[in-house]
Structure 1
Amino acid sequence: MSRKRISAPALAAAGQSPLTALSGVGPAVAAKLTERGLGTLQDLWLHLPRSYEDRTCITPLALLRNGMSAQVEGQVVAVERSFRGRPMLKVAIEDDSGGPLVLRFFHFRAAQVAQFAHGVRVRVFGTAKLGPTGLEIVHPSYRVLALGEEPGLGQTLDPVYPLVDGVGPATVRKLVGQALDRLPAEAELDIVPPAWLAQLGLPSLRSALLTVHRPEADTDLAALAAGRHPAIARLAIEELLAHHLSLRRQRIALQQHAAPALDGSGDGVARLLAALPFQLTGAQQRVFAQIADDLARPQPMLRLVQGDVGSGKTVVAALAAMLAVQAGFQVALAAPTELLAEQHLHNLRGWLEPLGVSVCWLAGKVTGKARAATLAAIADGSAQVVVGTHALMQDSVVFHDLALAIVDEQHRFGVHQRLALRDKGARPGSVPHQLVMTATPIPRTLAMSEYADLDVSAIDELPPGRTPVQTIVLSNSRRDELVERIRHACAQGRQAYWVCTLIEENEELQASAAESIHAQLAASLPELQVALVHGRMKPADKQAAMATFKAGDTHLLVATTVIEVGVDVPNASLMVIENAERLGLAQLHQLRGRVGRGSAASSCVLFYQGPLSMMAKSRLATMRDTHDGFVIAEKDLELRGPGELLGTRQTGVALFRIADLARDAHLLPAVHELAERLLQGHPALVERVISRWIGSAVRYAAA
């Protein structure tokens, strides 16, 4: 008899069925599951176990070892209740191979005690630990067996699922089991043609799900746990494919719009290049050529320029801005902090205003008549280049003719803010070009996945004359030595930073605060001018302290990580980072980039409070061993994961349910190939793949 094939809409409905369709899911349980992100059958299919329990065999007690998880069976030979201090129930069991094994309970009822009569057989599962009198299992799962009862053994390993608040583990396991029983057949469940996946050595989706949820006893659990098993790879590759296709779809949609073609006619760029006090590096020339080629097209540019600290991204942005200005359009440059925005303002005014280009400033502290005048200049077009912070995205800011939106350190902006800036230049059927810059090098893995909608350029060459920064890892027990080193460096005319991770003392975190460190250093170094900068200072006071340091009137600047980006003081040759073990690699690398900007030999001291975790040791070792921002970024991705690295909550970058970008990097070439084949030959399947993994969630890929 032929089997009726389920249509794609019917299949989608099967996966999207609410969990109330399952036995035992009323409104209260459904609400708890929804809070955990479990609302449909498909959500339960993709709610993977965090570990497994092997109940497919009985382990003799004589073979049980400390730390071993196993199922055992034995007869009760002793029961002891204790109420001294904490109530406790101890049950000793033995089998033909030996014993005893103690079952220890701290929470128990009288009815439980009655179950454990002398001679009763029990089947027990748990992890054996060495106790005061031998091996014991604390709060095992168990079953009292009736006389003559011989229950069968499990055919597959039992899954242990991540906890769901308010829903017991047994209930979650039962519900996932019900959901799996409703899995469609392979032909209906697979969206990507099975032959393509077979070429990659991957199973069908149905087989992969059943393997992960109900593995056979001989399944390689280590491979499952590490994500190396073909079943995990099958799930991960489709999830990565869905996200890649979503970004590609956004890119295709954006390309349907028009954008002003900035063809480069005019001598503005040549005049700017001639006026610069330095020559562009080969990398800067290459990246600007790519940008100029993009801007000359009547479709919107969407390009990411990444470059290590000090690689010279701002001058490339200035050249791009000149292309727009000489064509009669406006440019907006947004930076996440006033400090960084003002650094850009200073550079752009120095380069562009002598050439007759109007550069204006808009930030939260621009108020009253000054703000009104700036808004009017933006609206009538007399403000040709507008530099600012989040204030640029406000509704009151109306551009006359915005053609290029530049966003620096884009991962620090919210998605809606970036969209708001782009929309400032939107006209019917037309949007401005977008240039995104970051000094946080993006690992190739992330660039291939989360930035699949952007063209990516890398300024991978530092300007000549930069000296390598020596990185030293030092215990805070050697603080006195470090203070003397600062005294010596400043006596030779150099300047130094001392970066703290907190503003006020916090004993729990054992981190030294900027205010107390400032007081200590000022007392220890009375012959030096020691200044303080942190985020809670009034902007005017903060800017004054920075200006004094930049002018060379301050020897030592004690600061929080507010100086992470945008500070350029070539004479500063020593950086001390207090509690370096608390910072991520990207942040440490950014801070280190504040020194080594001049010709003097520079040092960065990573000052740590022991004992160090394994992750902290790995981070500090990486910083000591390499200055390559891309190597550091790859290590940061490996240690922290993409969500934290990209600032997921701010960017709209989706967290993956199953895929792990660091672990699954080797799958990305196959993902790209599958995407091309689907887009070219099976466009109808694209939407189904995206819908399965992303649903109706909006991806702000064009932001």
Structure 2
Amino acid sequence: MASLEDLPVTTLKGVGNALAGTLARLGITSLQDLLFHLPHRYEDRTRVIPMGSLRLGDTGVVEGTVMRADMVMGRRRSLQVTLRDDSGFLVMRFFHFSAAQKNQLTEGVRVRCYGEVRPGRAGFEFYHPEYQVNPPAMPPPGEATLTPVYPLTEGIQQPRVRSLCRQALGYLKRYPIPDWLPPSLLADYQLPDITSAVALVHAPPADAPVHLLMEGRHPAQQRLVMEELLAHQLSLLLVRQQIQQRQALPLLPGGDLTERFLDQLPFSLTPAQARVVADIRQDLSQPLPMLRLVQGDVGSGKTVVAALAALQAIGAGAQVALMAPTEILAEQHYQNFRQWLEPLGLEMVWLSGKVKGKARTEALGRLAEGKARLIIGTHALFQGDVLFERLGLVIIDEQHRFGVHQRLALRDKGAEGQRAPHQLIMTATPIPRTLAMSAYADLDTSVIDELPPGRKPIETIVIQDSRRDEVIERVRKACQSGRQAYWVCTLIEESEALQCQAAEVTAESLQERLPELRVGLVHGRLKAADKAAVMDRFKEGELDLLVATTVIEVGVDVPNASLIIVENPERLGLAQLHQLRGRVGRGEQASFCVLMYQAPLSQNGRARLQALRDSQDGFVIAEKDLEIRGPGEVLGTRQTGMMQFRLADFERDRDWIESVRTMAPSVMKDTRATEALVRRWLGERVRYGDV
């Protein structure tokens, strides 16, 4: 029997090929897709508001008579329609309009419209409101319903989507939506069946509790939220299952590499590091691919943990690939690992997009022959000509900068072509627990939750840009006393060119103001070799002050740097600010982070800077960041493909996450249900498992 999934959108009246193409851009090709294109909010159009009682920023319905309609030739040509009711008047303004529209809105015509009140030349205005000419009577108060608002794409307007969804709802009696969840589960949580939930969310009845719908807490919405979160969880578990269907090389600890490495370290592992190393040792010994995420706050010693994992793999006769998202971070790893592993007689190679010609050919040859046991680089490691003799372990730093696709692309480079390499994912961006449970459901998680002894807390100072002279003096004093400092420039513009230009101007001006100091500059447009040369000079103490863009966010380790100034911190996320702050406090001396903001601060900006001032704990800061900015931004744009929910909201619905995690394994036992749920909610995006 046919289902809604089998009925194309062209089944509906008025949907030809052109409109079907527009809907496809929203991921809508079938009637089921359309019904799961859910309203993300509602508008209350159930009563007419007198024009005289409107305030700036109000949204609502007004109704009145057209007093006049004029073409206004300002900076942009517009159609200005003045409406009047018994209490006052209001202007509807259209910058895009047709002759037919102008002829329709003539003096004396009755109009009902919905919009947001904005200030205008002629008083309060609605820009491009939805309107009806000679509207029917408003339904009685007990029969009026909320109006759904849908996500749109170019080429389709709200009224059209509403009308299509109303048509599609008419098919539900003949084609109910299959309910893939066990009735007992729905009964436990007192949730409605899927067909009733979808019908109510698109067309709430007049007696539905308005406040619950407006907040997204109505049982019908929560039924859909739970299923959406479950579908995301299942999709990641499918990725895990797919990877683990392939065998891995069991990398049993052997030889004395680990002991020799630990003997040469000038410090002992913290108990947290030792615990995570034991987790990894156990995973690597299995014939199933390890899939482990290691989270650790800034300075918690993740790199040492990664080195111990690499040595276990190399000791067992396998090769290791370590991949980082930026040249600076990859270069930093390369220097650290070289310092640690070369004394143990291990050969390694470096590969980035900038390594070309003979150097590249040579590096690839040593890797393919198995002479190089470790390769470190950027996303250049994904390329087809990078071949391994026996790849057993892939270490990926700052995973959220790469997509799931890219992480999976390395699995086919495993030993003997058939075996998947073990994967160790590291991040210094602590991920809130709720988010980790959802976004990384395909990974086991270990947390390095303590800092090495001797790390002093960093004092964070929030100061207005108008006190710049005081801040410059502070830099002078710090550097004259033998310390070093960072000055980080951030710009709101996305353009890297503008950011680099700002950093250049700042470096010049600071050099003028501080002629006795040696000032260096690092930004994203410098060649890798030039960047590395400046960083080395700073590290060696040949520069006092390093002016940089946020390229120094991760991986830069200079123990003598005790002061960091961040300009315009209100433009960065909390996690990024916490990372930048972590560039100091790596030595014995007291360290300071100065956040120099531009007034006025938004409420959000104030909350972010206060959170940073109040806490040194990356996990506390990450929770606050999630609360303020939402999951897409916290994870970083590359990851958000998985996090663009239709209805679920991480803050509001976080209580579901634990329940969904518990119910997912039992739902996974029903392959048909699992595939149907993932297809329903993620559509084509589920294919990220098939890289």
Fold in common (TM above 0.5): yes
2:14 pairs with 1:24: yes
What does 1:67-106 correspond to in 2, within 5 Å? 79-80=67-68, 88-94=80-86, 99=87
Between structure 1 and structure 2, the one with the greater Rg is 1
Match of 2:490 in 1: 501
Number of residue pairs the alignment of both structures matches: 680
Q: Tell me if the contact between 1:505 and 1:513 (Cα under 8 Å) persists in the aligned partners.
A: no
Please report how far the alpha carbon of residue 285 of structure 1 lies from its aligned counterpart in structure 2 after TM superposition.
0.1
Deviations 1:420-473 (A, max 9, x none): 333222435422111111111111112111111111111111111111011111
1:209 counterpart SS class: helix
Match of 1:141 in 2: 131
Please report how far the alpha carbon of residue 156 of structure 1 lies from its aligned counterpart in structure 2 after TM superposition.
2.6
2:389 pairs with 1:408: no
The one-letter code sitting in structure 1 at the alignment partner of 2:108 is F
2:195 counterpart SS class: helix
Distance in 2 (alpha carbons) for counterparts of 1:529 and 1:255: 53
Unaligned segments of structure 1, at least 5 residues: 1-6
Distance in 2 (alpha carbons) for counterparts of 1:333 and 1:113: 66
Please report how far the alpha carbon of residue 212 of structure 1 lies from its aligned counterpart in structure 2 after TM superposition.
1.9
Candidates 314, 317, 325, aligned match of 1:336? 325
Task: Assess, with a 3 A threshold, how the Cα gap between structure 1 residues 551 and 113 changes in structure 2: closer, same or farther.
Answer: closer
Q: Tell me if the contact between 1:641 and 1:662 (Cα under 8 Å) persists in the aligned partners.
A: yes
Distance in 2 (alpha carbons) for counterparts of 1:129 and 1:538: 49
Distance in 1 (alpha carbons) for counterparts of 2:102 and 2:299: 71
Match of 1:692 in 2: 680
Among all aligned residue pairs of Structure 1 and Structure 2, give the percentage whose two residues are the same amino acid: 55
Deviations 1:600-625 (A, max 9, x none): 10001111122222222222111111
2:661 pairs with 1:672: yes
Match of 1:316 in 2: 305
Deviations 1:350-405 (A, max 9, x none): 22222222233233344444333322221221212222222323222221111111
Match of 1:15 in 2: 5
Deviations 1:193-235 (A, max 9, x none): 2331231132222222222221233434443333223222211
Which stretch of structure 1 is more off in the superposition, 264-273 or 665-674? Answer: 264-273
Candidates 372, 397, 401, aligned match of 1:383? 372
Task: Assess, with a 3 A threshold, how the Cα gap between structure 1 residues 521 and 189 changes in structure 2: closer, same or farther.
Answer: same
Q: Tell me if the contact between 1:311 and 1:460 (Cα under 8 Å) persists in the aligned partners.
A: yes
Task: Assess, with a 3 A threshold, how the Cα gap between structure 1 residues 187 and 675 changes in structure 2: closer, same or farther.
Answer: farther
Q: Tell me if the contact between 1:115 and 1:144 (Cα under 8 Å) persists in the aligned partners.
A: no
Match of 2:350 in 1: 361
Q: Tell me if the contact between 2:567 and 2:595 (Cα under 8 Å) persists in the aligned partners.
A: yes
Deviations 1:90-112 (A, max 9, x none): 34344xxxx45557566785643
Please report how far the alpha carbon of residue 67 of structure 1 lies from its aligned counterpart in structure 2 after TM superposition.
6.4
Deviations 1:577-610 (A, max 9, x none): 1111111112111111100001110001111122
Q: Tell me if the contact between 2:489 and 2:549 (Cα under 8 Å) persists in the aligned partners.
A: yes
Match of 1:4 in 2: none
Task: Assess, with a 3 A threshold, how the Cα gap between structure 1 residues 36 and 369 changes in structure 2: closer, same or farther.
Answer: closer
Q: Tell me if the contact between 2:300 and 2:450 (Cα under 8 Å) persists in the aligned partners.
A: yes
Match of 1:112 in 2: 104
Match of 1:303 in 2: 292
Candidates 419, 436, 453, aligned match of 2:442? 453
Distance in 2 (alpha carbons) for counterparts of 1:67 and 1:503: 26
Q: Tell me if the contact between 2:321 and 2:391 (Cα under 8 Å) persists in the aligned partners.
A: yes
2:585 pairs with 1:596: yes
1:266 counterpart SS class: coil
The one-letter code sitting in structure 1 at the alignment partner of 2:321 is A
Which stretch of structure 1 is more off in the superposition, 130-139 or 590-599? Answer: 130-139
Deviations 1:542-583 (A, max 9, x none): 211111110111110111111111111000000001111111
Deviations 1:130-150 (A, max 9, x none): 9999988775724427xxx86
Candidates 468, 485, 489, aligned match of 2:478? 489
Candidates 253, 273, 294, aligned match of 2:283? 294
2:334 pairs with 1:345: yes
Task: Assess, with a 3 A threshold, how the Cα gap between structure 1 residues 326 and 182 changes in structure 2: closer, same or farther.
Answer: same
Please report how far the alpha carbon of residue 533 of structure 1 lies from its aligned counterpart in structure 2 after TM superposition.
1.1
The one-letter code sitting in structure 2 at the alignment partner of 1:92 is R
Distance in 2 (alpha carbons) for counterparts of 1:171 and 1:140: 12
Distance in 2 (alpha carbons) for counterparts of 1:418 and 1:603: 36
Q: Tell me if the contact between 1:405 and 1:435 (Cα under 8 Å) persists in the aligned partners.
A: yes
Distance in 2 (alpha carbons) for counterparts of 1:505 and 1:521: 24
Deviations 1:306-343 (A, max 9, x none): 11111101111111111111112211111222221222
The one-letter code sitting in structure 2 at the alignment partner of 1:697 is R
The one-letter code sitting in structure 2 at the alignment partner of 1:452 is A
2:551 pairs with 1:562: yes
1:305 counterpart SS class: strand
Which stretch of structure 1 is more off in the superposition, 445-454 or 204-213? Answer: 204-213
Task: Assess, with a 3 A threshold, how the Cα gap between structure 1 residues 307 and 122 changes in structure 2: closer, same or farther.
Answer: closer
Unaligned segments of structure 2, at least 5 residues: none
Distance in 1 (alpha carbons) for counterparts of 2:540 and 2:252: 41
Please report how far the alpha carbon of residue 406 of structure 1 lies from its aligned counterpart in structure 2 after TM superposition.
1.0
What does 1:612-651 correspond to in 2, within 5 Å? 612-649=601-638
Please report how far the alpha carbon of residue 124 of structure 1 lies from its aligned counterpart in structure 2 after TM superposition.
6.1
Deviations 1:64-88 (A, max 9, x none): 88866555677x5x83456786764
Task: Assess, with a 3 A threshold, how the Cα gap between structure 1 residues 427 and 660 changes in structure 2: closer, same or farther.
Answer: farther
Task: Assess, with a 3 A threshold, how the Cα gap between structure 1 residues 272 and 22 changes in structure 2: closer, same or farther.
Answer: same
Which stretch of structure 1 is more off in the superposition, 366-375 or 620-629? Answer: 366-375
| Structure 1 vs Structure 2 CA RMSD | 3.3
Which stretch of structure 1 is more off in the superposition, 341-350 or 177-186? Answer: 177-186
Match of 2:24 in 1: 34
Candidates 568, 582, 587, aligned match of 2:576? 587
Q: Tell me if the contact between 1:237 and 1:667 (Cα under 8 Å) persists in the aligned partners.
A: yes
TM-score, normalization: structure 2?
Answer: 0.90
The one-letter code sitting in structure 2 at the alignment partner of 1:685 is A
TM-score, normalization: structure 1?
Answer: 0.88
Task: Assess, with a 3 A threshold, how the Cα gap between structure 1 residues 32 and 468 changes in structure 2: closer, same or farther.
Answer: same
Distance in 2 (alpha carbons) for counterparts of 1:481 and 1:64: 47
The one-letter code sitting in structure 2 at the alignment partner of 1:24 is G
Q: Tell me if the contact between 2:272 and 2:448 (Cα under 8 Å) persists in the aligned partners.
A: yes
2:27 counterpart SS class: coil
Distance in 2 (alpha carbons) for counterparts of 1:425 and 1:84: 68
Match of 1:471 in 2: 460
Task: Assess, with a 3 A threshold, how the Cα gap between structure 1 residues 175 and 501 changes in structure 2: closer, same or farther.
Answer: same
Distance in 2 (alpha carbons) for counterparts of 1:692 and 1:464: 50
Candidates 514, 517, 524, aligned match of 1:525? 514
2:644 counterpart SS class: coil
Distance in 2 (alpha carbons) for counterparts of 1:594 and 1:135: 51
2:416 counterpart SS class: coil
The one-letter code sitting in structure 1 at the alignment partner of 2:543 is T
Distance in 2 (alpha carbons) for counterparts of 1:361 and 1:131: 60
1:15 counterpart SS class: coil
Please report how far the alpha carbon of residue 254 of structure 1 lies from its aligned counterpart in structure 2 after TM superposition.
2.1
